[in-house]
């Protein structure tokens, strides 16, 4: 099973022999050195609990569809060959990355999860989210979950070549602390804003297309939270080679 594969204590490349829909009864906790590769099949993680990448390194998730994720009830869940632990109720993110490094989320479609589509928190770094298609969601992507968790200053995240599509509202991404490179993404839909942040993150936006909605109050691409202009004017938010359409003002 997929759960058996991801908890192994050795490097493992997991592929799928046929198309399938997997409904997780509890969150899927992924061990170190794992690749989940959905190429060649239509693999959907849907209608159940989330994928969790917690305190591990070297994980690739590629070519799967994640949608309609619900909170898991918690309980005794195995996270390695030799360990099971008591887990509290999971949030219902699509993918939750917690205190982890060298993680690549690529060619994954995500929609309609109970919390965020992708959360990256608690000092995670060396994270790449690329070539993904994200739709039909409010709080899309959270990079850093707490204003008080200053350890997120080590966070380095690349958000590249993604399509932020229909039905999205905000947080594409929403950043705290750290360094975020937003490059060559296509933003075709949002209702509130595209890129936001607080706690002086460094955000470099390069080569993106931002198509503003026909909502006058949402024409601005960015949102700076919980700071007066005298403070956020000192933050490093830069735009280079971005295309702003339908009167969306630059960063």
Active centre residues (catalytic): 171
Pairing of strands 84-87, 75-78: antiparallel
In angstroms, what CA-CA distances link 60 with 26, 177, 187, 213?
A: 20, 24, 24, 33
Cα Dmax for the chain: 57
How does 72-98 read in b/e, with b if 16+ C-beta sit within 10 Å? beeeebbbeeeeeeebeebbbbbbbbb
The verdict on whether omega for the bond into residue 173 sits within 30 degrees of 0, i.e. cis, is yes
SS3 216: helix
Count CB atoms within 10 A of the CB of residue 175: 29
CA distance 108 to 131: 7
**How far is CA 182 from its chain centroid?**
13
Return the CA Rg of the chain. Answer: 18
Residue of 87, 71, 69, 70 whose CA lies nearest to 29: 87
Strand (E) or helix (H) holding 145: none
CB 118 within 8 A of CB 144: no
């Amino acid at each position: 099973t997929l759960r058996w594969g991801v908890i192994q204590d050795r490097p493992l490349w997991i592929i799928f022999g046929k198309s399938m829909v997997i409904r997780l009864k509890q969150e899927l906790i992924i061990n170190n050195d794992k690749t989940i590769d959905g190429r060649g099949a239509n693999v959907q993680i849907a209608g159940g609990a989330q994928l969790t990448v917690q305190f591990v390194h070297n994980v690739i998730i590629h070519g799967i569809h994640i949608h309609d994720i619900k909170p898991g009830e918690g309980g005794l869940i195995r996270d390695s060959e030799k360990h099971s632990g008591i887990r509290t109720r999971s949030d219902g993110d699509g993918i939750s990355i917690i205190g982890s490094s060298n993680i690549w989320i690529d060619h994954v479609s995500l929609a309609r999860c109970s919390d965020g589509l992708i959360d990256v928190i608690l000092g995670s770094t060396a994270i790449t989210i690329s070539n993904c298609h994200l739709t039909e969601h409010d709080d899309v992507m959270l990079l850093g979950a707490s204003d008080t968790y200053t350890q997120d200053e080590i966070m380095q995240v690349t958000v590249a070549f993604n399509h932020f599509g229909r039905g999205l509202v905000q947080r594409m991404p929403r950043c705290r602390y750290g360094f975020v490179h937003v490059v060559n993404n296509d933003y075709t839909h949002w209702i509130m804003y595209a890129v936001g942040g607080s706690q002086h993150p460094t955000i470099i936006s390069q080569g993106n297309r931002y198509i503003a909605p026909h909502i006058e109050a949402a024409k601005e691409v960015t949102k700076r939270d919980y700071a007066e202009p005298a403070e956020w004017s000192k933050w490093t938010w830069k735009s280079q080679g971005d295309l702003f359409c339908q009167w969306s003002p630059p960063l």
